[in-house]
Amino acid sequence: MRFRLQRATLPALTLAVATLFTAAPASATRVMELEADQLIRAAGFMRDSLKLTPNQQTLYQQVNAKSLTILRARQSRRERLQAELKARLADPRQELRELAGGIEQEATASAAEERELRELWLTLCDALTDAQRATAAEFLISQLDRVDAPAHSERSTGERPPGEHGPGQGGRGRRGG
């Protein structure tokens, strides 16, 4: 069981470290729900707090520029896919299963881009000093704690999140069915 837990959490922790420079200060999100484009837009906050050296600044600018290029290409590709799917769906004889190929190709390309983005940002992480890494780790912990806080408070008060009903409860106080 311990092996499974480590195996499952390692990619999540790697993603958290890789997106360290891009975590948004005002909002917290679960590790596996991080969106690269949103995170890269918020990169300035972490960059300023780390007080990067001139060499680190140069590397940051290179990594950020490459990341933005990847994300622009992704956006363009997805817009083309959207238009193509919409056009094909206008044909009432179109088989939905035939559309899966384009979606699968996009998913594969996106996964490769995510790996490339992680590697880019991990390269920048490698250039940090121990003090900068500690600052980054503190920031990540605060972001992850902010995500976990609502879950812990619900359990301690026994309240359910809005919209959630007890077992067998439907809307308007009636049993579901």
The whole-number pLDDT of residue 42 equals: 61
User: How many residues would you count in the chain?
Assistant: 177
Q: Are 18 and 136 in contact (CB under 8 A)?
A: no
Provide the pLDDT for residue 112.
96
Domain boundaries, the chain: 2-150
Mean pLDDT by 10 residues, the chain (177 residues): 38 42 50 66 77 96 95 96 95 91 96 93 93 86 71 54 50 50
Say what the pLDDT of residue 46 is.
81
Residue 70 tokens read as: 């990847």
> Which pTM does this prediction carry?
0.64
Tokens of 88: 């094909």
Q: In degrees rounded to 5, what are phi and psi of residue 28? A: -110, 150
Residue 37 CA: distances (Å) to CA of 4, 24, 31, 72, 164 = 30, 11, 14, 9, 31
CA atoms within 13 A on the CB side of 59: 16
Contact 43, 37 (CB under 8 A): no
